[in-house]
Each structure stands twice: as C-alpha cells, then as structure tokens.
Chains A and B, each alone.
Chain A
C-alpha cells in the first residue's frame, strides 16, 4: 500500500464509489438480460399451472392459484409419446455406446498413422446436414419396413450420436496418464482387463457426461422424427408439434406438456454444462 495524502484519499474514495456503482449497474443489467432470456420459458411454465381461460386472458395474469389439472391431463395424452421417446433415446444412446466406446478406446490407446484422419472424418459426419441423406434413407426405410418403427429411429439417432461418442471417449481416455495404463500392461493385463479394470473407471465421469449429451441431442431431434415416423413410433417432438395451431384453446395443456418435455433435458444440460460446450465445439475451444 502506498501512503495517500488526505485530499487524495477523498478522491480515491469517490473513485471507489464510482467503480462500485458502475459494477452494480452492470450486475443489474446482467440480471435484466437473464430475465429477458428466461421470460418465454417462465411464461410457458406459469401457463401450465393456469386454467385455459387464464392462460390466454388479456391483460395477462401474473398471479393466480395454481392448478395441477393440466399436468394430469397432459400426462394422459403424453404417455405413449413419452414411452416412444424414452425407448428411442435410450436405445440409440446404448447402441452408440456399444459401437463408439471401443472405437474411442482403441484410437486413444493404440493410435496409428491414420488415427487422426479417421477421427476427423468421423467428426465430419456429425456436421453433415440431415437433408443430404433423408431422401434415400426414407426410401430404404420404406422398403425395409422401418418407417414409423422404434428401430428405425434408434438407427438414425445412433448415426447422429456415434461420432460424438467416439470423439468424446477418445479425448477423455487420452487424458488418462499413460503411466497408469503402461503399468497394467507390464502386469500382464489383457486388452479386456485393461479396458474394464483400468481405463473405464478412470474415464467414467467423462463417459457419463457423454451419455447425457447423447440423450439431450436425441431427445430434441426433430427432422428425422417428423419425417420417418407418423404415429406408432412418434417421439415427444412430434407430439408437441401437433399443438402448432392452438389459437388459445389448449395453451395451458400445451404448456404443461411442453414443460414435462423439456424438464429432463434442462436438468441434464445444467448439470453437464461444461461437457456440453466441449461436446458441441468438439474441443476446439478450451
């Protein structure tokens, strides 16, 4: 600390106050922006607890006695779609893991000359627009009777998530100190033991967050869901889009169903926020 003359001290105090005020104003601005960004969601969740009449009343109603009727009613119609979503998302995540974890493991621990280009090629498939493959896939699915089946969408969503699984698993395993794996090899561990007893436990947190990402992406996917299913195997995204022409008739019910639809993904996303960025940018930003 430098010694300050009394007159300077007053000046410094005033400067501190200004900095403080500026800081508070910026904080207020941050909260204001957050409020603006959250408003559509807050409004939707609130409407889920209103009666239909309250939901589209003008002027809008901010304070009301909440009802749980909409959630109860939404659950009835929403049930079968929820089942489809869970089956398809779960199935595709599982399949992507069965195929992707061994591949990521091999490329991380036994890199060859072409490993890097293979990895980058796999990533490039993740960036391919779905519209580039939808026409032949639709025709193949039609001929193979895969349209509107769970298996059909499971296969599609596996394609979407497989590059991500390979990539993330590869990067998490690459971060394990090589000495640990070396030691296991010296002790005579088989490939199998090396994987299940050494690598998997260490990479588990990373693998778990990769699973969360797969669930988020598959749960929110719309293009394949809309174009490859019609009724029997439709997931929640198709169900919610059936509300697209609600002129105020079913807003409360729609809001309740939408809230139930996005709630799990929202929780997963908040939880896996850092991994989400890593997964979305493929580690291009550290």
Chain B
C-alpha cells in the first residue's frame, strides 16, 4: 500500500469541512436571502458588501472589532512582557508560579464571562464595587457604563498569560554570553535591554502579535455571555454580529458577506504567520 494514501482521509475531511462551506458562504454573500422568506432569493451582487461598508451601524461593528483586537493585543503584550521579564530570573517557587500564571488562559470563555459579569462587575454585590467603595469612590456599573473597556479587561485577563509564556520562551533562548559581553562592555541595564534583549525578542513579539490578532478576531463567548453585544451595539463585534444576523434575523446574505470579510482579513494576517512557520520547517526533513 503506498504510504501517501494515509494522507488522503485527513485531506479530504479538511477540504469538505472547511473549503466547501467557505465557498458556499461566498456564494450566499451575493444574494439577498432571508430564511423567513426562503423562496425569494434575488441576486444582489456586491449589495451585501455595500451595505456592510455604508451602513453606519455596520461600520461601528467593524470598528468595535478592531478596537477590541488592538486594545487587547497592546495590553496583553505589554503586561505579558513585564511578567515574562519577572519570570526570567531565579526566585523561590518559580516553576509553580510559572505554571499557575497560565490558569486564566485555560478558563472557558463562558466561565470567565459569567464570573466577571456577576461576581466581580455587578454594581451592587460585585467585588469591584466593594473595592471602589472602600476607596471612597462610587460603585460603577461596569458593563453598562464602560461596556467595551470591561470586555477588553476580561479578554486581556485571558490572553496575557499566552503572551507572557511565549515571550518568556523567547527570553530563555537568549544566549547568556551575549548579555555577559554587553555587561563587560559597560552597558547599563537599559542599554542591555534596548540593544540585546529587544532585537532578540522581535521574533517572539511578532508571533504573539500576529497569532493574537487571529485569535482575537474570533472572540465570541465572552461577548455572548456578558453583554450580548450591548448596550445598543457598543460591544457587537463581527462574530457576534454574524450570529445575530444569521440566527436571530435569519439574514443569511448579510451574515455571509461579513463572514467572507472576516476570513479575508484573517487570511492576510495568517499568511505572514505561515511564512514564519514555513521558514522554521524548511530546515527540517520536510
């Protein structure tokens, strides 16, 4: 039996399960099609895309997606870098601390959302309300007064460990003798960081930023559970928008067009990631 046959089932499965539905999404995106009126399905060409880019509500949804993505990437990378630097030195209990730090990343997004929404951010009984009262400040109803900031806080909490651990891995591959040499040459810690650590870190930073961008484009559970996209559309991002259009309004055409846009955007980012990974495996046997 030729060995290559062993590849066929996986390949066929992935093509059928991902490429076929995606092509169907592209096809649907050219029709004005509402499931409640199944027989009336006029071809509208790029009409749905035009709606996405001209309706100010829809533009707001795209803006929300970008705001969430950018804020979380920046916050999680900055805090993650700080944690990575702190973890990259010997201290008592380091292995345990390192392991525990990943916990929030492992929590199911829905659990994060119910716990933050109810037990931490609740304006009357929540823990944050109590803390701000202790500080002499009024209790804040986070999810209705600062909805996007609250979602950003939750998602940052989840993704910071991911950034921290990858950046830590990057730091640990820095050859000790380079730092040694810099110190002998009389570098200050700041110069050492700027000229040695940071250039070496660029690769890890690049990977973290690109991968987080891809994963954060897909954030759904936190929004579905905590704000349902509201108040109004203040926390509606593309995934939640598609869910609403397709499963609440049955507007298949518009939902499909938004889905195509999401895939196009992700593809642009992931082609860069894949180039980085491709460079890595070219050295191997494959």
Contact = CB atoms under 8 A, between A and B. Distances in A.
Contact of A286 (B11, B114, B173): B173
Nearest to A142: B35
B87 interface: yes
B161 interface: yes
Measured as residues with beta carbon below 8 angstroms from the partner, the interface class of chain A is: 35 or more
Contacts of B246: 134-135, 138
A227 B243 contact: yes
B199 interface: no
A262 B220 contact: no
B119 A285 contact: no
Interface in A5-63: 23, 26-27, 29-31, 33-34, 37-38, 40-41, 43-44, 47, 55-60
Is the contact region of chain A dominated by helix, strand, or loop, or is it mixed?
helix
Contacts of A57: 125
Contacts of B280: 283-284, 286
A273 B108 contact: no
Given A131-B258, A132-B262, A119 B286 contact: yes
Interface stretch (A69-77, A200-208, A250-258): A250-258
A132 B259 contact: yes
A106 interface: yes
A106 B6 contact: yes
B40 to A, nearest CB: 16
Which one of B1, B18, B104, B203 has the greatest number of beta carbons of chain A within 10 Å?
B18
Contact of A220 (B10, B89, B108, B117): B108
A124 B270 contact: yes
Contact of B266 (A58, A127, A223): A127
A266 B102 CA distance: 9
A26 B276 CA distance: 34
Interface string A230-251: 0000001100110110111001
A163 to B, nearest CB: 7
A240 B226 CA distance: 12
Contact of B17 (A58, A103, A159, A266): A159
A89 interface: no
Contact of A100 (B10, B25, B170): B10
B106 A131 contact: no
A105 interface: yes
A44 B277 contact: no
Contact of B218 (A131, A244, A246, A261): A131
A178 B285 contact: yes
Contact of B274 (A60, A120, A237): A120
Given A174-B285, A281-B207, A281-B211, A254 B6 contact: no
A139 B28 CA distance: 11
A183 interface: no
A246 B125 contact: no
Contacts of B174: none
Nearest to A240: B110
A254 B217 CA distance: 28
Interface in A162-207: 162-163, 166, 170, 174, 178, 191
B238 A131 contact: yes
B235 interface: no
B6 A120 contact: no
Interface string B198-230: 000001100100010010011011001110000
A1 interface: no
Contact of B103 (A41, A137, A219, A244): A41
Contacts of B116: 40
Nearest to A258: B111
Interface of B: 1, 3-4, 6-7, 9-11, 13-14, 17-22, 24-25, 28, 82-83, 86-87, 89, 91-92, 97-120, 122, 124-125, 127, 129-130, 157, 160-162, 165-166, 169-170, 173, 203-204, 207, 211, 214, 217-218, 220-221, 224-226, 238-239, 242-243, 246-247, 252, 255-256, 258-260, 262-263, 266-267, 270, 273-274, 276-278, 280-282, 284-286
Given A33-B86, A116-B278, A285-B170, 5 more contacts: A40-B119, A103-B11, A105-B6, A223-B220, A282-B277
Which 6 A-B residue pairings sit nearest by Cβ, starting from the closest?
A222-B221, A102-B6, A136-B24, A103-B10, A132-B263, A133-B21
18 contacts: A105-B6, A106-B3, A108-B285, A129-B218, A129-B262, A130-B239, A132-B25, A134-B259, A136-B20, A241-B113, A255-B115, A255-B119, A262-B106, A269-B105, A270-B100, A273-B98, A273-B102, A283-B277
